[in-house]
């Protein structure tokens, strides 16, 4: 009987503790000689004692897991969300553009853009380009777009085809002299364009850079207003119009860049926003 009881207790403990197989099992005391009734009582007593010890060993082997329950799965780590800083599709890009330079404030603006690792487009007038070729060289070297703002800032939609062509050619010649290459962008002064300008630019192989956000920086000369107009008006794909000849506009550059980025937008050049523009087409924004 003792031998049977001892074997039964050992089987019970081993079956109740499969996960604690490497833990040391409690010692099973030898049973004293007794009557059948005493032995039955002793069996019941020892069974209860064995169950208690099994639970005790289980709690030691798995201190963080309740008996009969599976340990909770560790939460999956969150994948970092990369900022879209102008990837291949440039989905969040905005082109910031500056007209009528280069001038006395342009170098300061280039410093600000460089410090912020931002890019822009400069629509230059031929006389100013001839006067400041070093600024055009810097623009090109630092990854900005240089565009043609014509020779004399006339309203192209009032001119003949030949006159429009002359304005475009003169502007392009000034850019090429400073940088060694021409441009694929023309910005008609005042945004004044028509079918004649469309045809002339198409024939010259250049596209028209217009805008959908006008900061009116030439009018109020207020840095806060310039920043507010640029940031609030911009959306993904916008083209923002400003002028680097005004100190207040250059003062606003940090605010414009930071404000656009706070909206999830990235200031870029026109060449970055529109990689393959169509000659003669008017671009007010992308898309």
Looking at the annotation, which residues are catalytic? Answer: 99, 243
Indicate the angle between helix axes 195-204 and 161-179, nearest 10 degrees: 40
Give the tokens for residue 6.
Answer: 């001892």
H or E stretch at 242: strand 239-243
Would residue 150 be called left, alpha or beta, if left means φ above 0 and alpha means ψ between -120 and 50 degrees? left
Rg (CA), the chain: 40
CA distance 242 to 5: 96
C-alpha closest to that of 99 among 38, 65, 150: 150
Q: What angle do CA 134, 179, 168 make, to 5 degrees?
A: 110
CA distance 152 to 206: 18
Whether residue 138 contacts residue 285, with contact meaning beta carbons closer than 8 Å, is answered with no
CA distance 84 to 19: 49
CA distance 182 to 164: 17
């Amino acid at each position: 009987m003792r031998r049977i009881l001892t074997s039964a207790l050992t089987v019970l403990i081993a079956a109740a503790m499969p996960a604690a197989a490497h833990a040391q099992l409690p010692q099973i005391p030898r049973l004293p000689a007794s009557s059948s009734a005493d032995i039955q009582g002793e069996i019941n007593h020892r069974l209860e004692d064995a169950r208690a010890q099994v639970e005790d060993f289980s709690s030691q082997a798995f201190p963080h897991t309740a008996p009969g329950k599976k340990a909770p799965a560790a939460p999956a780590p969150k994948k970092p969300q990369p900022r879209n800083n102008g990837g291949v599709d440039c989905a969040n890009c905005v082109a910031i553009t500056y007209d009528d330079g280069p001038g006395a404030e342009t170098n300061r603006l280039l410093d600000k853009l460089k410090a912020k690792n931002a890019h822009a487009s400069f629509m230059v007038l031929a006389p100013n380009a001839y006067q400041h070729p070093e600024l055009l060289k810097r623009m090109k070297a630092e990854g900005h777009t240089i565009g043609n703002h014509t020779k004399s800032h006339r309203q192209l939609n009032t001119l003949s085809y030949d006159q429009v062509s002359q304005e475009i050619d003169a502007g392009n010649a000034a850019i090429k002299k400073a940088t060694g290459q021409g441009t694929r962008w023309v910005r008609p002064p005042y945004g004044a364009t028509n079918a004649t300008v469309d045809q002339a630019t198409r024939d010259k192989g250049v596209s028209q850079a217009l805008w959908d956000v006008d900061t009116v920086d030439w009018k109020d000369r207020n840095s806060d207003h310039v920043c507010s107009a640029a940031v609030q008006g911009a959306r993904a794909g916008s083209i923002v119009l400003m002028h680097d000849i005004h100190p207040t506009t250059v003062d606003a550059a940090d605010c414009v860049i930071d404000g656009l980025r706070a909206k999830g937008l990235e200031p870029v050049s026109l060449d970055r926003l529109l990689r393959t523009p169509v000659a003669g087409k008017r671009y007010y924004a992308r898309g």
